[in-house]
Structure 1
Amino acid sequence: MEVRDSFGKALRFVRHRRGLAQEDFSLVSSRTFVSMLERGATSPTLEKLDSLCTVLDTHPVTLLALTYLLGSEAPESFEQLLEKVGEELRALVEPD
């Protein structure tokens, strides 16, 4: 599955869990664009991702993590994914 497709699934999943309609994004995006994202027809810029996540009341990293959990050929559990990301972040930001 392409990342665009799994992002669309993640966006739709979170939107439904939050009880939002595509029209609820009207201050940051058109309903048509949200529909295109959810169908995997396009992908957002970082700025658009941030705006969408503001409406979703969800951190962008959460939406991206869900994207990779839904799109993985051999899915990791979210605990494994969070552990891996945490280790990578620590290695990048902690002094040697």
Structure 2
Amino acid sequence: MKIEIVFGKVLKSLRAEHGVSQEELAYRANLDRTYISMLERGIHQPTLGSLVAVSDALNIRPSELLKIFEAELEKINNSE
């Protein structure tokens, strides 16, 4: 599975856990809602700046977001 898809899945899950819409997350992160949508659908990879912005908007450390991403990626790779 492509890493963009895995990141998107993780981002969507975290956003849902925080009870935040794409629009609200985009506003908090100072990003466009369509960009958040494209990240969640695996169309784009996040830049370092957008990764930090999204993490801040979700009140988590960027390293924590990456740990969750790595764990999900490992789980998927082990199941293939």
Q: Same fold (TM over 0.5)?
A: yes
**Structure 2 unaligned spans of 5+:** none
CA RMSD across the alignment: 1.3
Among residues 45, 49, 52, which one is paired with 1:50 in the alignment? 52
What displacement does 1:63 show? 1.0
The list of structure 1 runs, each at least 4 consecutive aligned residues, that deviate by more than 3 angstroms after superposition, is none
**Structure 1 unaligned spans of 5+:** 76-96
Residues 50-73 of structure 1: CA distance to partner in whole angstroms, max 9, x if unpaired?
A: 011111101111111111221221
Name the CA distance, whole Å, in 2 between partners of 1:4 and 1:66: 14
Name the CA distance, whole Å, in 2 between partners of 1:26 and 1:54: 12
8 A contact 1:3–1:68 mirrored in 2 = no
Among residues 64, 67, 79, which one is paired with 2:66 in the alignment? 64
Larger radius of gyration: 1
Name the CA distance, whole Å, in 1 between partners of 2:56 and 2:67: 16
Question: Aligned residues, how many?
Answer: 75
Corresponding residue number in structure 2 for 1:26: 27
Among the aligned pairs, what percent are the same residue? 33
Q: Tell me the TM-score normalised to structure 1 length.
A: 0.72
SS at match of 1:40: coil
Residues 27-59 of structure 1: CA distance to partner in whole angstroms, max 9, x if unpaired?
A: 511110000000000011111110111111011
